[in-house]
Structure 1
Amino acid sequence: MLNTRFLTLALAGVLAMPAQAHITVHPDAGNADTYFQTDFTVPHACGAGTATIALRVQIPQGVHSVKPQFKPGWTVTTRSRKVDPPIKAHHGPDITETISEVEWRGGPLPDTLYDSFGLIVKLPSGEQTLSFPVTQTCDKGAVQWSDAPGGEHPAPTVRVTTGAQQ
């Protein structure tokens, strides 16, 4: 009887816990050397009763063209890094600087709602997997989504393919 009661209480406790949902990117695969539009989806805040007030996405090396989505109620800021050696541009001057980080700040986005934050990027050449570490800042705390796949807080990844392998 005691074992049954303990098992019932333990199961109820597990079922009452919120599922650990991750920040995801969709679509999560694109063709090399193409412009790629994707969304980073925030399914929850940093904890029950908190709200997301900022989302910062780090842009991996090799991605040299980045355009963030405008979101009403949020401000967008970017940080840049030097490109050395410069990259020949198809139109206009050579590329000597690129966006290394995009941050949306505002909201707030309550824990009971979700939202997506979009980017258009030019994917690099060659098959590879790009990791986009994300910092989710809430009114009470922050979460670093930067672990390897399978980790507790995995970074969103985009698979770069050649041809129609998506």
Structure 2
Amino acid sequence: MEQLIPWAALEAQIARHYPQGRQGRPPYRLSVMLRVHCLQLFYNLSDPAMEDALYEIASMRRFAGLSLSDPLPDETTILNFRHFLERHGLGQVVFAAVNQHLAQHGLMLREGSILDASIIAAPSSTRNQSGPEHPPAVLAGSLYQPADRQ
């Protein structure tokens, strides 16, 4: 996505509306917030889930241009950026620009999910502690006999 999305063009469209930080706390860099917003769209994450993902998934931080030593945007900041885009009608501009650019390369943006393929320890079933209740099975072409039935 780093190379497929026209980041500079998107930032230029948004920059004229983006707060300059002359009052109050300075805003996050536009490039960071735009990338966080796109990650949120790519993976269909809620604002709290996006905040958690930035803390937990190094590749997402790297894509957004953040490191663990940088202050990470919290869910309220992510929400406020999304509302900022909506207020100025820029959410649709971003989505349309990304889809148009991807279509030019023969790609399509579709909803996705991140799956955790962790293997966790689980207790064995207590249901069959008295031994197998089923007749022997044929495995790999040979007759398999459980040890207690030989």
TM interval, shorter chain, is: under 0.3
Say which structure is richer in helix. 2
Structure (1 or 2) with the larger CA radius of gyration? 2
Say which structure is richer in strand. 1
Q: TM-score, normalised by structure 1?
A: 0.23
